[in-house]
Amino acid sequence: MAVGTPSGQLARWEWRTFGVPDRRFFGAFRQFPLRFPGAGIASENDLYILIRKPSPLCLKVRLGHSVGLKIKRLFQRSRTGAELWGVEPAPQMLPGDAVSSAHASLGGDSEWWHRLAPLGLSFARSITTECVGLALVRKHRQTRCVGEYASVEYARITEVVVDGRRAEDCANITSIAFESYREVDPLSREQREAALRELSIAVDSLAWALGSMRPMNYLEAIESWSAPRVVGTA
């Protein structure tokens, strides 16, 4: 299924799911080499900008010592649930510096969201007028290589807050994502299909541990964890 309109940049396939894998998954995961040798488990906080449907865009601000805005465009979704994403140029991050500073200074304060949200919304609306809310995802993750052409990321999600409401049913849930190393031209069917075959081999290598976990991206997961809302497809 085609979703976005290619604008010249390259794209990569990924396949993601959420839930609780077979307990044997973790042993199998640790057998693969680290994607970045010497890297430990990273703790990350991602602020997702929820966009009114229909939209092929996924906007995410990574919070921490430095702020990074990532704008991804969904070009295609395969019959098996793999998605072809391209990364678009991000605008200057000056408003995001304020968001990052506010987040870093709050620590364990239970009222942190109420102080972060106005800054986050101001920043989001400086990017798009179609912003309908914010979702913060806290997680610990690690990425390993699966064969020559793909990686697998394991992430333990510790907290999700959507517009100030904590999603109680997703604490300590797992995200598992496979990503192709190959960047392809979204307009080239040959490149798309070759990279998708390689990614499928990686997913199949651990399919036995995924059970009934179905493919789903982060914004779809956030929507399923929160009250009904109108958010983008990405």
Using an 8 Å Cβ cutoff, are 195 and 207 in contact?
no
Lowest mean pLDDT among 55-69, 151-165, 206-220: 55-69
The CATH number linked to 21 is 2.40.320.10
Residue 37 lies inside a defined structural domain of this protein: yes
Mean pLDDT for the chain overall: 81
Q: Strand, coil or helix: what is 95?
A: helix
pLDDT at residue 180 in the model:
96
- Distance in angstroms (rounded) separating the CA atoms of residues 90 and 107: 28
Would 2 be classed as within a structural domain? no
Considering the domain boundaries, does residue 221 fall inside one? yes
pLDDT at 5 over 80: no
Q: Per-residue pLDDT for 218 more than 60?
A: yes
* Most confidently modeled range among 113-122, 208-217, 222-231: 208-217
Looking at the 3D structure of the chain, how many domains does it have?
Answer: 1
The answer to the question of residue 230 being in a domain is no
Is 30 part of any domain? yes
Share of the chain above pLDDT 90, in %: 41
Is the residue at 134 inside a domain? yes
Question: Considering the domain boundaries, does residue 232 fall inside one?
Answer: no
CA angle 54, 198, 187 (to 5 degrees): 45
- Residue 1 forms part of a structural domain: no
pTM for this predicted structure = 0.83
Integer Cα distance of 59 and 125 in angstroms: 12
DSSP 194-232: HHHHHHHHHHHHTHHHHTTPPB--HHHHHHHHSSS----
Tell me the per-residue pLDDT of 9-29, one tens digit each, with 9 for 90 and over. Answer: 899 999 999 998 998 999 999
Give the pair of three-digit tokens for residue 56: 């092929």
What is the domain range of residue 185? 11-225
* pLDDT, tens digit, 9 for 90 and up, residues 44-79: 888 898 888 778 889 888 775 556 778 899 999 999
DSSP 168: G
